[in-house]
């Protein structure tokens, strides 16, 4: 399969989800524009809106929307999807927060030599932290069970 076919398939997944979200916004009487793209080899659907209602506390509504979006793709195509959903730029803001938290943990470990246990994070958030820690030349591992799974940062 060529990259163009893959990208076309991912855009088709995004189109299915965009149609679903258009209906959802109408039902909820919310204003928003929906953008469909491919980022990092995944379909990416963003709802550009002023309302934080579709983000929810700590992104809980956003995570639920993402699961619904993946179910829409599974139902329509029979294929599992790694599609990502963002609302009101939440994921970019959260990524910046996670990178800052990771940098703080990296600095603490570098200064003290002692491991740092971070707050519980979901799998997507832990991946961002693990990547930041690896780029700094330190080690990290996840410990605990969801929803209390957390990253531990330590010296290499």
All structural domains of the chain: 3-88 (3.30.300.20), 92-154 (3.30.1370.50)
**Which residues of the chain have a pLDDT value below 50?**
1-2
- What confidence score (pLDDT) does residue 1 get? 42
Alpha helices in 78-115 (DSSP H): 90-112
Q: What pLDDT does residue 3 have?
A: 59
pLDDT value, residue 4: 64
pLDDT at 5: 57
pTM: 0.84
Res 25: pLDDT: 95
pLDDT at 112: 97
CB within 8 A of 29, min separation 6: which ones? none
Please give the pLDDT value at position 2. 47
Report the Cα–Cα distance between both ends of the chain, in Å, rounded.
Answer: 39
The pLDDT, as a whole number, for residue 72 is 96
């Amino acid at each position: 399969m060529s990259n163009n076919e893959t990208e076309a398939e991912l855009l088709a997944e995004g189109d299915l989800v965009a149609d679903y979200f258009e209906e959802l916004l109408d039902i909820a009487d919310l204003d928003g524009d929906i953008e469909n793209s491919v980022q990092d080899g995944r379909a990416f659907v963003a709802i550009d809106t002023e309302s934080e209602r579709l983000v929810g506390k700590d992104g809980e509504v956003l995570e639920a929307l993402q699961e619904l979006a993946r179910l829409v793709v599974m139902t329509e195509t029979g294929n599992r999807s790694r599609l990502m959903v963002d609302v009101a730029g939440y994921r970019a803001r959260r990524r910046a927060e996670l990178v800052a938290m990771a940098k703080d943990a990296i600095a603490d470990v570098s200064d003290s030599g002692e491991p740092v246990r971070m707050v519980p994070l979901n799998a997507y958030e832990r991946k961002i932290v693990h990547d930041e820690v690896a780029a700094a030349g330190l080690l990290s591992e996840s410990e605990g069970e969801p929803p209390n799974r957390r990253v531990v940062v330590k010296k290499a």
